[in-house]
Amino acid sequence: MNQTTAEETVDVFGPNSMLRRLVNEARWGLAVTRATVLEAAHPQIGTALIGNSTFVTHPWRRLRNTVVSAQRMLDPDRHVRSREAARLNRLHARISGTDPQGRRYDAMDAEARAWVVATLFESAVTMYRLGGESLDGPAVEQLYTEFRTLLALLEGNSDQLPATLQEFWPYYDDMIDHRLESTEAVRVILYRLFANVPAPPLLRSHPAVWAAGRAVAGPVAAAVTIASLPESFCRRVALPDLPGARALMHGAYLTAGFATRLLPNGWVQVGSFMSLLDPDHAGGSGPWENVRRKAGQAAAMLRLITPAPDEVNQATRSADQFFAEVLDQTGDGYLAWPDLAAMAREIATRLDLDEQDEERLYNAYAAWWRELQTNLDADGDGRVTRQEYAASAPSLPSSGLVKIADVLFDVTDVDDDQTIDAQEYQTLFRTAFHRDLTGRGDSYSRSAFVRQFLSFMSGQQHSVAYNSLLS
pLDDT in tens, 146-190: 999 999 999 999 999 999 999 999 999 999 999 999 999 999 999
Lowest mean pLDDT among 63-77, 280-294, 412-426: 280-294
pLDDT band at residue 431, thresholds of 50, 70 and 90?
low
Higher pLDDT, 312 or 357: 357
- Who's near 365: CB < 8 A, 6+ residues apart? 340, 341, 343, 344, 404
Element containing residue 421 per DSSP (H, E): strand 419-421
Of 458, 463, 466, nearest in space to 408 by CA: 466
What is the rounded CA–CA span in Å between residue 365 and residue 45? 25
* Whole-number pLDDT of residue 435: 45
pLDDT score for 282 = 52
Q: Do residues 290 and 278 touch, judged by C-beta distance below 8 A?
A: no
Cα atoms found within 13 Å of the Cα of residue 16, Cβ hemisphere only = 5
Q: What helix, strand, coil percent values describe the chain, rounded to 5?
A: 65, 5, 30
Task: Give residue 323's pLDDT.
Answer: 87
Q: Is the pLDDT of residue 235 over 80?
A: yes
Contact between 147 and 117 (Cβ < 8 Å): yes
189 against 309, higher pLDDT: 189
Mean pLDDT for the stretch of residues 408-430: 90
* DSSP letter assigned to residue 189: I
Give the model's pLDDT for residue 422: 86
User: pLDDT tens-digit profile of 78-118?
Assistant: 999 999 999 999 999 999 999 888 899 999 999 999 999 99
SS3 call for 335: strand
User: What percentage of the chain exceeds 70 in pLDDT?
Assistant: 85
**Long-range contacts of 459-464, Cβ-Cβ distance < 8 Å, separation of 24 or more:** 459/318, 459/319, 459/322, 459/323, 459/326, 459/393, 459/396, 461/436, 462/436, 463/434, 463/436, 463/437, 464/431, 464/434, 464/436
Q: Is the pLDDT of residue 7 over 50?
A: no
3-state DSSP assignment of residue 257: helix
Q: How far is residue 253's CA from residue 229's CA, in Å, rounded to a whole number? A: 13
CB 62 within 8 A of CB 54: yes
**Mean pLDDT calculated for residue range 221-233:** 97
Rounded Cα gap, residues 70 and 42, in angstroms = 22
Mean pLDDT, residues 7-28: 82
Give the pLDDT of residue 340. 95
Task: Indicate the pTM of the whole model.
Answer: 0.86
| DSSP 8-state secondary structure symbol assigned to residue 98 | E
Average pLDDT, the chain: 86
Domains for the chain: give ranges and CATH numbers: 6-245 (no CATH), 263-305 (no CATH), 314-470 (1.10.238.10)
CA–CA separation, 304 and 308 (whole Å)? 9
**pLDDT score of 277:** 64
Q: What is the rounded distance in angstroms from the CA atom of residue 2 to the CA atom of residue 163? A: 5
Which runs of consecutive H residues, i.e. helices, occur in 41-156? 43-52, 59-73, 78-93, 110-130, 137-155
* CB distance 328 to 339 below 8 Å: yes
pLDDT of residue 10: 46
Q: Which residues contact 213 (CB under 8 A, 6 or more apart)?
A: none
Calculate what percentage of the chain has a pLDDT beyond 90: 57
Between CA 111 and CA 192 the distance in angstroms is 28
Q: pLDDT: is 274 or 413 the higher one?
A: 413
Is the separation of the CB atoms in 30 and 228 below 8 Å?
yes
Identify the pLDDT of residue 74: 93
pLDDT at residue 213 is higher than 70: yes
pLDDT at 280 over 90: no
Q: Model confidence over 197-210: pLDDT tens digits?
A: 888 877 777 888 88
The pLDDT of residue 308: 44
Residue 316 pLDDT > 50:
no
pLDDT at 441: 57
